[in-house]
Structure 1
Amino acid sequence: MTVLVTGATGNVGRRVVDRLLASGAEVRALTRNPETAGLPAGVEVFGGGLGDAEPLREALDGVDRVFLFPVPESTATFVEQAKAAGVRRVVLLSSLAVEFGEENAIGQRHRLIEQAIEDNGFEWTFVRPGAFATNALAWAESIRSEGAVREPFPGALQAPIHEDDIAAVAVTALLEDGHAGKAYPLTGPELISLADQVRAIGDAIGRDVRFEEETPEQAKARMVAQGTPEAIADTLVGYRATAGQNPAPPVPTVQQVTGRPARTFPEWAADHVGDFS
């Protein structure tokens, strides 16, 4: 069995690669920068992106299953090349935002990819994580340099999910039968406020980390200045506002699919001490 992993150097994709190798699967990876990918020995690395037809065709030759990182602009090229190569199973890294309605900009981008996969005869599974624990890595520089985090809505409650738990569900769906046609919502096991996330990071690294509250307008302006499209920034700030008033409850999907509970945010922070120190 040969599995192609796209987005193989990302937070989730790299964990998918490691888990597939541990299972004994033959693993290929598609990356734009193979020279700096730093992937493990045993991975066959192809240079290119999902929108590059010729490298993609070569990477898909003989592949039965694909872990697909979402790139809306490249979906049509992927579908064409995957069908031609005879790919049978596609596990898509989607988003829980798909379930938030048609007006959600993030959800709509992911739903377009889901529909393309659904409509083209693949044996599909959609992995839909909510808030990623790795979103907290955006605080790493200010924590290292100032011992502070600036965000709105310190009491906003989330159930952030560890990237390795996302990978564990994805690899289960890639390797085992019984997951075709399933869309799996994924969260961490418990709700935790933004302020308590910052506190958990401080506990993990052994330093006091301040939470300095921004206004929603300041947060949006910061995101846009960092390159986030305005519609996405609006959506992200809206998530935080909603989470402060009506937080979405955690779901037990990780345990149901993999047989073990999802990791807590403090466990994630302990795994990432080096990123904040």
Structure 2
Amino acid sequence: MIVITTPTGDIGSQLLTTLLSHDEELRVIVRDPAKLPDAVRGRVDIVTGSHGDPEVVGKAFADADAVFWIVPPNSQAVSLEAAFSGFTRAAADAFTSSGVTHVVGVSALGRGTPVAGSAGLVTASLAMDDLIGGTGVAYRALANPSFMDNLLRQVSSIRDHGVFTDTVAPDRLAPSASTGDIAAVAARLLLDRSWTGVDSVPVLGPEDISAADMARIMSDVLGRPIRYERETLETLGARLTGFGLGDAFVGGMVDMMRAKENGLDDGVARTVENSTPTTFRQWCELVLKPAVNA
């Protein structure tokens, strides 16, 4: 039995689709079962509620072998510790009491880098990994860079103004991965379960790429000029605050982006094993272009 948290989210939904094609018992934790596709609801066991709730995870993890774990974003959390480790604590207790043996979690690159302790959201995510790893389960933290799919938040700007923004230098090369590839790595680990101990699994995408490269590729794929505009960290913080996000989350995002500029994602050497297949051009063709044209 595999338990999937966030089954209607970007990574969780793609993982669920993959696992449904295999001979595995599946259980999902979801706040609103109506958000699951009709074809899915009859094929999985559903536990309704939040996976931060001790009663919910206790019920969901009963008789389960493995769990896919994602902490949902909480822009109003009083602290980053509460948003990550605090949310995970009930599940960590339930892993042990329920007999779960394997957990795959979505985390971030950065462990072991000089900026890992001051990287905001990433620092909190790495502390969450330590909490899970300390329970005694076999744990694999998917160490991810920035997601290609984050650009979907800027579809309107790309469509209407031909502009996307970030805080990194335009020529700074960094890894970037598609959420589809992240889900595929999670599926492989959850279906195998021969691994032991605690470790991280970097998911680096196929190549390092800059914002300038992204603008060029988007322009080519979309058939219109797309340009990159760099915003300051101060502007980013003010914009997020203007959206009503809480101080802890805004500070965590700003600190994370500062750390990325200072090498947070540069600590893992690229290998065949940690390079995933979807190129940024392929992602633009398969995901961004349909979204922009919708």
- Shorter-chain-normalised TM-score: which range? 0.7 to 0.9
Secondary structure of the residue aligned to 2:45 is: strand
Taking structure 1 as the reference length, what is the TM-score of the superposition?
0.86
Partner of 1:34: 33
- How far residue 211 of structure 1 moved from its aligned partner, in angstroms, is 2.6
CA-CA distance at 1:57 after TM superposition: 2.3
Q: Deviation at 1:262?
A: 2.3
Pairing 1:53–2:70 present:
no
Q: Are residue 84 (structure 1) and residue 100 (structure 2) matched?
A: no
Helix, strand or coil at the partner of 1:23: coil
Cα shift readout 1:20-66 (whole Å, capped 9, x = no counterpart): 11222122111112112337422222211112222222222221110
What secondary structure sits across from 2:200 in the alignment? Answer: strand
The equivalent of 2:179 in structure 1 is 163
Per-residue CA deviations over 1:163-213 (Å, capped at 9, x if unaligned) read 121112212211214432331122112121112213323333333223334
Distance 2:102 2:183 in 1: 16
What's the counterpart of residue 44 of structure 1?
A: 45
- State how far apart, in whole Å, the 2-side matches of 1:201 and 1:61 are: 46
Q: Is structure 2 residue 218 aligned with structure 1 residue 201?
A: yes
Displacement of 1:17 in angstroms is 0.9
In structure 2, distance between residues paired with 1:151 and 1:56: 37
Could you give the per-residue CA deviations for residues 127-152 of structure 1, whole angstroms, max 9, x where no partner exists? 11111111212221211222222334
* Aligned twin of 2:250: 230
Change (3 A) 1:78 1:213: closer
* Alpha carbons of structure 1 residues 117 and 193: separation in structure 2 relative to 1, 3 Å: same
Aligned 8 A contact 1:204 1:270 in 2 = yes
2:65–2:99 CA contact under 8 A, matched in 1: yes
Equivalent in the alignment of 1:175: 191
Opposite residue 19 of structure 1, the aligned amino acid is T
Q: Say if 2:144 and 2:202, in contact at 8 Å, map to a contact too.
A: yes
Change beyond 3 A, Cα 1:251–1:166: farther
State the alpha-carbon separation in 2 of the partners of residues 205 and 46 from structure 1.
41
Of the three residues 111, 135, 139, the one matched with 2:154 is 139
User: What is the root-mean-square deviation in Å for CA atoms of aligned residues?
Assistant: 2.5
Q: Tell me what 1:270 maps to.
A: 285
Change (3 A) 1:16 1:239: same
Match of 1:104? Answer: 119
TM-score by length of 2: 0.82
* AA matched with 2:140: T
**1:201/1:39 CA distance change after superposition, 3 Å:** farther
Letter in 1 for 2:252: I
> Which runs of 5 or more residues in structure 2 are unaligned?
72-83
Matches of 1:126 and 1:168 in 2, distance apart? 14
Confirm or deny that 1:248 pairs with 2:266: yes
Distance 2:127 2:38 in 1: 30
CA distance in 1, matches of 2:241, 2:204: 26
Structure 1 pair 44–247 and aligned structure 2 pair: CA distance change class (3 A): closer
Between the aligned partners of 2:13 and 2:45, the Cα distance in structure 1 is 14
Q: Structure 1 CA distance, aligned partners of 2:127 and 2:214?
A: 32
1:116 aligns with 2:117: no
SS, match of residue 185 in structure 2: helix
Identical aligned pairs, as a percentage?
25
**Amino acid aligned to 2:24:** A
Q: Secondary structure of the residue that 2:229 maps to in structure 1?
A: strand
Shift of 1:266: 1.1
Residues 108 and 215 of structure 1, relative CA distance in 2, 3 Å threshold:
closer
- Secondary structure of 2:266's aligned partner: coil
How far, CA to CA, are the matches of 1:79 and 1:89 in structure 2?
12
Q: Which has the higher contact order (CA 8 A, sep 6+)?
A: 2
Moved more, 102-111 or 126-135: 102-111
Separation (CA, whole Å) in 1 of partners of 2:143 and 2:183: 11
